[in-house]
Amino acid sequence: MMLSGLFVVLCLAGAELDGSEAFLRGADLQRAGNYAGAIEQFIEAEAAGTALRPYAMLRIAACRDDAGDGNGAIGICRQVLQTYPSGPWGRLAEAQLYEVHAKRGTLESAVKIGESFMNVPVLPWWLEDVAWKNGESLLKVPGDEDTGYAYFRGVVENSIFPDKRLSASRKLMASASPRDRVTALKGMVRSSAFDEAAKSMEQSPLQLADAQGQPIPAVTVARKLAAQSAAERQAALAPILADETNSTRLLLAAVYAARKDAEAGNMDAALAMTRLLVDVFPAARETGDTVWWLAKRVESKQGYDAAVPLFELLATGCPTHFRADDTVLYMAEQELARGQRAKAEGYYERLGDTYADSRFRDFAYYKGAELAVELGQTDAAVAKFRKAVSVGPGRYYAHRALDRIGVDGGLNLRVDGSRPVLQVMPELREPLPPTPTLFRESVQYKRLQFFGRHGLDEGEWEALDLLIRLGNDPGQEIFYQPIAEAGFAHTALQYAIEHGWGAQGDAKTVARQRLELPRAYWDDAIALGKETGVDPYLMLAVAKQESTYRATVQSHAGATGVMQLMPSTAKWLVKVEDGIQDGHYDNLKSPANSLRLGAFYLRRMINTYDGNLVFAVAAYNGGPGNVNKWRRQFSTADLDAWIESIPFTETRDYVRKVLGYYAAYHSLYPPVEY
């Protein structure tokens, strides 16, 4: 195999990580707030060798800053940048300088540094909070306000988090730019803060220009257009749609009018405005949201039958909206509840065939197959089961369908009696490409493994540096695998998606699927499997769903680490499990600790439910108390039906995803050998 020049550069052999034990002791003391003791250990690590020296120096800088010596921190960071001008620690040094300046209020210096270290092809997930803080700082620096507002416009347009999008919208409302104000209103509507947006639009109505160039309320224009035929409105629409800001004004005005008319009981006007939205802005998130809102309102007041035309309008008129597949699934379930099995089967088939990216696609085909069985359509049922299988590994009902058509892939999830099982797709098990010796012996690889193994933030900077330097280099596949296995799969996947690596349309290579489901922290997982009897692939399936293997992530509720254990649960495990000690509870960001706690908790749940993984996984997410209640409430004779009866949407999806990932792991990798 020919090696690219970049591969050779990245794989130059490096020194052993001398000083690593002192580095870890320092990290423990730093976390405990003993900055003086931590500095002593980091000085020892710095003196021990070159491989960790820049990082040890930056840890000393961080301790000095936390202890109140900002000047000392700045001096050390600058020393690192001068002494070691190239390396993954460069961006980390700049990030620490940024934090010191931001804390001091020297914002001009902070934003200048931020411009440097956040100038990356893809902003990694762990820099998003810093980017937000930098955006706020830019708004306070004279002359940089426009750059700050540009950042918050990006958040409104791209963030998947409603709360974050709404907060960014509120910041944009302070801008003097009409474009920013319109974007802010758009963000409010997208974040389900319609009342807030409506109040603002009423206080300062959106304006367009008439044929003579005079301002006219956008709502007035929308109402006139809604009353016209498509052909009649074409000429009036052309100049409006040619300008992005005016186009958005019309969109928001139509959304406002549709909802206000519906709330006032003027349903004909609301329906006309909704059809205008679908005709003119079919791909807009706001259009689909409005159709869904109106459909549910009609359903609540007039019943399901009256709302069906609106549900159909959303499904067919806004096929890219995130609720389009939800809507078809909802109609299928409504028909099924009415006993209209043939009609429900048609909806399930339609969902699977129409929405290739739907998260319900495997479920839709599977349910359609079950209905075909009930209707005596054996051949049709087998064909639908095969369609469910074709959705691919990692989807729960794809693996269930394999079992239903009699395929023995060698995996039988241990469940009671004749309960359902999942089967694997062993044809995906391509040989695992080894990490080349040249890279394994490099200092980058050694640092990556060290930081990942111990859940240290430096590893993300190390991985980011590798990914940026890698870009679209032909040797990228060799690097993605070890980066993911070290625990940095989330960041690696961000860059793989950016470069289109391993995917073409809906099809993904086995290497790409392994990047999405890597054998992260594998040595620890194997050791815990031997100790607890829990399948390492099940541990990693849980880790995938809980944290995407991220050691440092923490939920709003306080769940922390790879397995997202709550501190209270971890503390309880110390009391009830001999294999869990106080040291495992003290640092939940350590992957080894988190995996250990998660494995022991999983074992308890598996034992509690006599090996039934459906109940065990449901209990991991929803709690054993709820699972016990649901077992009493719903028949457990059919676990498929039991899963779909779980009243918590989060837990229902969690069970499907974790067990789907579990079967995918066994499909993509060789069986575990202890």
Q: Which residues are catalytic?
A: 546
β-pair partners for 442: 13
Looking at 510-659, which runs of residues are DSSP E strands?
none
Asked if 317 and 282 count as a contact pair (C-beta separation under 8 A), the reply is: yes
User: End-to-end alpha-carbon separation of the chain, Å?
Assistant: 32
Residue with tokens 């959304």: 255
Instruction: Indicate the residue type of 447.
Output: R
Could you give the CA distance from residue 80 to residue 84 in angstroms, rounded to a whole number? 6
Query: Can you tell me the distance from the alpha carbon of 458 to that of 171, in angstroms, rounded to the nearest whole number?
Result: 32
d(CA 34, CA 527): 32
d(CA 569, CA 588): 11
B/e letters for 525-546, b = 16+ CB within 10 Å, e = fewer, are bbbbbeebebbbbbbbbbbbbb
From 361, 360, 388, select the one nearest 373 (Cα to Cα): 388
H or E element in which residue 124 lies: none
Q: Hey, what amino acid is at 166?
A: L
Q: What's the rounded Cα separation, in Å, for the pair 268 and 325?
A: 26
Which SS3 state, helix, strand or coil, does residue 217 take? strand
By the 10 Å C-beta count (0-12 exposed, 13-18 middle, 19+ buried), 28 is classed as middle
Q: How far is CA 11 from CA 85, 319, 443, 478, 479, in A?
A: 19, 47, 8, 11, 10
Compute φ and ψ for 648, nearest 5 degrees. Answer: -85, 115
Query: What span, in angstroms and rounded, lies between the C-alpha atoms of 43 and 147?
Result: 40
Phi, psi of 361 (to 5 degrees): -60, -45
DSSP 8-state class, residue 503: E
Inter-residue contact 231 to 238 (CB < 8 Å): no
Report the C-alpha gap between 27 and 41 in whole angstroms. Answer: 9
Residue 633: count of CB within 10 angstroms of its CB: 11
Is 3 in contact with 477 (CB distance < 8 Å)?
A: no
Return the closest-CA partner of residue 577 out of 589, 565, 562, 559.
565
What residues have CB less than 8 Å from 559, skipping those under 6 apart?
A: 546, 565, 566
* Runs of H (alpha helix) within 128-193: 128-140, 145-158, 162-172, 178-190
3: region left, alpha or beta (phi > 0 left; psi from -120 to 50 alpha): beta
Buried b (16+ CB within 10 A) or exposed e, 499-524: bebbbeeeebebbbbbbbbbbbbeeb
Report angle CA 209, 214, 217 to the nearest 5 degrees: 55
Question: Dihedral of CA 594/596/602/608: which sign?
Answer: negative
Q: Please state, in angstroms and rounded to a whole number, the distance separating the CA atoms of residues 46 and 230.
A: 72
Look at residues 601, 561, 551 and name the one whose alpha carbon lies nearest to residue 579. 601
CA–CA separation, 134 and 115 (whole Å): 9
For 209, the 3-state DSSP assignment is strand
